[in-house]
Structure 1
Amino acid sequence: MADNRSIELKTRSQSEWEERFEFWSTPPSQTEQDRIERTVREITEAIRMSPRLSSRGVVTFPQGSYANRVNVRADSDVDVCCLYSGTVFHEKAPGMSDGDTGLIFPASYTYEEYKDDIEAALVARFGRSAVTRGKKAFDVHASGYFVDADVVACNEFRMYRGTGRYESGTALKREDTGVLVTGFPVQHRERGREKNDATSRRYRQQVRILKTLRNNMKRWGIGSANEVSSFGLESLFWNSPDRFFFSSDTHYGRLLLLIENSVKSLRENPTSLKEANGIKTLFGSHTDRLPMHYILFLEDLMRVIFYRG
């Protein structure tokens, strides 16, 4: 729970909040967007110029907030996926055997070799001092014309529904635990675009407002903001029925109703909530996200907006 002293410093009238929400609901400036696009192009060129990777058909694309058009002002980094589909991670459906997948075992080009090759390509392009290897991603540090980038080496991931039927996504392997981290970036973009169209573009606006509030609450020292992820919050609003995006004529009114609905869903039936890709559940054994963390954050957020002393 937040310290009321920190909340009190942020007290504003409803009209003042509305003015800020209107600004926060819009995407970053064209200058910021240009720097992001320049960074993605430079990383793509790094992979293309790699002697070890150029012939492997690696596909490079942005994912996360920028790709889904919910990135916010003054927070302009970018997640870049380098996807190699020649080696496949998979999750079998009940009753399936490895033979039912049609895949060849073992892989001739391992994930570890692939990640080493991605690192070499990035260092050759940006320099050793600009590239930091993490447990999941490479941090490519910003210079004058670029933004910070998290670059992930991913293999294709197949979540089988049965023999010959699967959802295709991406997977990386954590270096510290060997655990697979899977995602569905294509489906994420498609589901987000559909939601935005169905809500007359209000979905992305409300997500940007929510994410900006979370960033500000972290700076204000409100601890619950550190326990929730940007993607988790986006997914909560993706799960909200479309009617809530039309429930008020103001950003302020819509935000309050969306928060109330999200808290209700988190309390009553969190296992029914999906990630914004529409495939994986938002909570469960595959993630460290906890419903209570999101409830506490949203309750603190309500106090920030409503605080009157």
Structure 2
Amino acid sequence: MAISESERRSWTTPGAQDAAQRTYASVKAALDRSPSLSVLDWEVFLQGSYANATNTRGDSDVDIVVMLKSIYIPDGTQLPPSDKIRFENRRRGTTTMTAATFRSLVQQALSDYYGSERVHPRNKCLRVDKRDGYVDADVVPALQHRRFLSYPAYGDPPFIEGIAINPLQGGRIINYPKRHRDNGQAKNTRCRDKYKPTVRQVKRLRRRAVDLGLVDKRAAPGYLLECLVYNVPNHLFVADDSVRLSNVMMWLAQYSGAELAALCVSCDEVHRLFMNDPGQHNQHTTERVLKALWRLL
């Protein structure tokens, strides 16, 4: 069944923001009330579709990062040899704070505010159950991660700020949600405000394919689709909603999985989407999904 032009236009509309904004404000209030957290340097911010303004109707939860800044995870892997020597010889501070301790403080703050029956530990986050007028919240305790770009002898070394998540099971996960957000905003500007509406269209197209049984519901999550659309050349984001969606999907569907792996970066432009992105996306599954979505048009 082909997708009508009216549907393609309607799919550009973002989902409701009010409930997510209320949920974010509520979680921040819970953290602000904690005496244990008040003595630490931390920051709370959104990540995911609500932060990136690519949410659609039906996005049912909000991702909220609580990043500890009192300590950070240093990354000098990209430094030139001369800078690496200075990086390795840097002065290291001492602290008794760990990722596990910080997570426990965040969990206690949430439980004190909401009641322990509404707060559920998950592998990478703490789920806070919604109530009327709010959405479920995945609260992600993390440490600041600094990917140093250089390490001069004098002055503050420049770095890309990321987050380091220590899950209950599995190894540390490094993401760059602020850089993802900023790059998406810049892409949207270059595309005359048509990039983010197109991401929403593609997400709704994928949802339609799932409903029709054409695509597995676990395949091609919203983050992956957003990054794929990020790689589409800017000139294809034309004003007409229907033509633009066809342009973008035709460009994506033309490539094999191997070609997608060679071409595509993540929105943070630090990771390669199918090579070292923490999402561990499969390029061959993605190829099949994209071709199914293109046939649906």
TM over 0.5: yes
Q: 1:99 to 1:189 in 2, by over 3 A?
A: closer
Instruction: Name the residue aligned to 1:26.
Output: 13
Q: 1:159 to 1:144 in 2, by over 3 A?
A: same
Task: Provide the C-alpha distance between the structure 2 equivalents of 1:64 and 1:213, rounded to a whole number of angstroms.
Answer: 19
Which SS does the other structure have where 2:237 is aligned?
helix
Task: Provide the C-alpha distance between the structure 2 equivalents of 1:72 and 1:98, rounded to a whole number of angstroms.
Answer: 47
Instruction: Name the residue aligned to 1:256.
Output: 246
Q: 1:107 to 1:215 in 2, by over 3 A?
A: farther
Per-residue deviation at 1:145?
2.2
Instruction: Name the residue aligned to 1:136.
Output: 124
Task: Provide the C-alpha distance between the structure 2 equivalents of 1:167 and 1:103, rounded to a whole number of angstroms.
Answer: 20
1:71-112 CA-partner distances (Å, limit 9, x unpaired)? 001224211011111121232226536953746266420000
Conserved 8 A contact 1:93-1:161? no
Instruction: Name the residue aligned to 1:86.
Output: 70
Conserved 8 A contact 1:58-1:82? yes
- Whether 1:52 aligns to 2:36 is yes
Which SS does the other structure have where 1:53 is aligned?
helix
Q: Cα RMSD between the aligned structures?
A: 2.1
Instruction: Name the residue aligned to 2:113.
Output: 125
Task: Provide the C-alpha distance between the structure 1 equivalents of 2:209 and 2:89, rounded to a whole number of angstroms.
Answer: 47
Which SS does the other structure have where 1:182 is aligned?
strand
TM-score by length of 1: 0.86
Amino acid at match of 2:57: R
Task: Provide the C-alpha distance between the structure 2 equivalents of 1:150 and 1:108, rounded to a whole number of angstroms.
Answer: 26
Conserved 8 A contact 2:271-2:277? no
Equivalent positions of 1:1-309 (< 5 A) are 11-12=1-2, 17-28=4-15, 32-93=16-77, 95=81, 96=84, 100=88, 102=90, 104=92, 107-163=95-151, 164-177=157-170, 179-246=171-238, 250-265=240-255, 266-268=257-259, 270-287=261-278, 288-305=280-297
Task: Provide the C-alpha distance between the structure 2 equivalents of 1:153 and 1:214, rounded to a whole number of angstroms.
Answer: 30
Which SS does the other structure have where 1:153 is aligned?
strand
Instruction: Name the residue aligned to 1:8.
Output: none
Which SS does the other structure have where 1:52 is aligned?
helix
1:221-268 CA-partner distances (Å, limit 9, x unpaired)? 33444221211110111111101112xx53232222212222345542
Per-residue deviation at 1:161?
3.1
> How many positions carry a matched residue from both structures?
286
Task: Provide the C-alpha distance between the structure 2 equivalents of 1:38 and 1:101, rounded to a whole number of angstroms.
Answer: 46
Conserved 8 A contact 1:271-1:282? no
Which SS does the other structure have where 2:37 is aligned?
coil
Conserved 8 A contact 1:218-1:226? no
* Bigger relative CO (Cα 8 Å, ≥ 6 apart): 1
TM-score by length of 2: 0.89
Q: 1:49 to 1:98 in 2, by over 3 A?
A: farther
Amino acid at match of 2:264: L
Task: Provide the C-alpha distance between the structure 2 equivalents of 1:159 and 1:143, rounded to a whole number of angstroms.
Answer: 38
Higher mean alpha-carbon deviation, 270-279 vs 227-236, is at 270-279
Q: 1:101 to 1:125 in 2, by over 3 A?
A: farther
1:97-136 CA-partner distances (Å, limit 9, x unpaired)? 6953746266420000000111111111111121111110
Task: Provide the C-alpha distance between the structure 1 equivalents of 2:109 and 2:293, rounded to a whole number of angstroms.
Answer: 43
Per-residue deviation at 1:292?
1.1
